[in-house]
Amino acid sequence: FISCKLDGGITNFNLSVGITDEFMKALELNTTWDLKFGGKVYKTVYAREIWDAIAEAAHACGDPGLIFLDRIQADNPVPSDILNKTNPCGEQPLYNGESCLLLSINLAKIMNGNMQKLDRLTRLATRFLDALIDIAEYPLPLIDENTKATRKIGIGFTGLHDALIMAGLPYDSPKGRKFAAEITALMSAAAKDESMKLAEELGPFPKWEQSIYYPDTPIRNASRITIAPTGSVTAMAGCEGYGIEPIFGVAYKKATNVAGDFYVFSPLFLEACKKYNIPQEVLDEVGRRGSCQGVEGVPLEIQCIFKGAMDIAPEDHIAMQAAVQKYVDNAVSKTINLPNTAAVETIKDCFKLAYNLGCKGITVYRDGCKEGVVTVGT
């Protein structure tokens, strides 16, 4: 399973390995680990052998990622039902037969200091998704029954980096992470409060008496906040940062058969450049590099704010994920971008940091490790 993508196959979905606290302890102590299924032990190996294989495969092709099973279970709203699966990008832990209903608020459109608008939209989203549970058509009776038993919803956001840029905050700064955490905390509080109001109107979710909320908090939805990857949603919304991700780059080269090759720039970056009267020859150099970092003629205040995914250190990617995860009762879809030169040991360090900071999962991508993805620079 760990190595099944190394030959270039099964490219259309992500893979992750479930990791427990017990495994991480075995790794730390350099002890053995039983490979078992159905209660039967098939083989015993050192935990480090599995760990090394995961990191080497992720280095080679970006898969697998990790899912920290005990972290997910610790936030399980109905502890008697084991969370044993997620949706394809890992942001929605689920029980058998559950489905996920997700919605993302475009922060690029509202983050001009208008927290009241964000509160109002989150409450509207809570009611919208709760109603959708009842009117949706499910492919199997089991999915219908189990989805309605917990009434889980997943409200998230897209355009976080757009909002940070508009606020003049670097993505990889403590202030940037504090801003993102405050946004998520507000959404979490609003969604929970509105779900409690829905419970007063319509009753709590059917498994409420088996949940962590019983008997103190009648609530309509067992979980409410999820940060999804929002690829298609972001493209339609017209913002630049996908979900929690930073913008991929401030510029990239587009090749066409008619007009030849030309550079496509971040609109937010171009807007900032106009304010500083940055000349075209400087922009051409930014286009060639795919980054404004270290480009003579670009003010440092712009360089500080306009960092693409590859300009941000992996530990800062992970720190942002961890800052937001504190207020997300489901999970966060996030890719940790690494340069092509990153070593296998760097990937191991990323995995351990994500675990130590309380993330529920982690996916890494080393630049150039697979074909057919967006590239920047020459």
Which residues are the active-site residues?
Answer: 87, 89, 91
Distance CA 344, CA 16 (A): 17
Give me 196's structure tokens: 């409690």
Euclidean distance between CA atoms 143 and 150, whole angstroms: 11
| CA atoms of 325 and 320, how far apart (whole Å) | 9
3-class DSSP string for 69-138? HHHHHHCCCCCCCCCCEECCCCCCEECCCCCCCEEEEEHHHCCCCCHHHHHHHHHHHHHHHHHHHHHCCC
Which tokens sit at 100?
């996920």
Sign, Cα dihedral of 205, 207, 213, 215 = positive
Strands 251-255 and 261-265: antiparallel
Give the separation between CA 231 and CA 241, rounded to whole angstroms: 10
Structure-derived torsion over alpha carbons of residues 178, 184, 185, 191, reported in degrees to the nearest 10: 170
Reference 310, options 124, 113, 171; nearest CA is 171
Q: Angle at the Cα of 192 (from 191 to 193), degrees rounded to 5?
A: 95
Question: How does strand 40-46 pair with strand 65-68?
Answer: unpaired
CB 131 within 8 A of CB 195: no
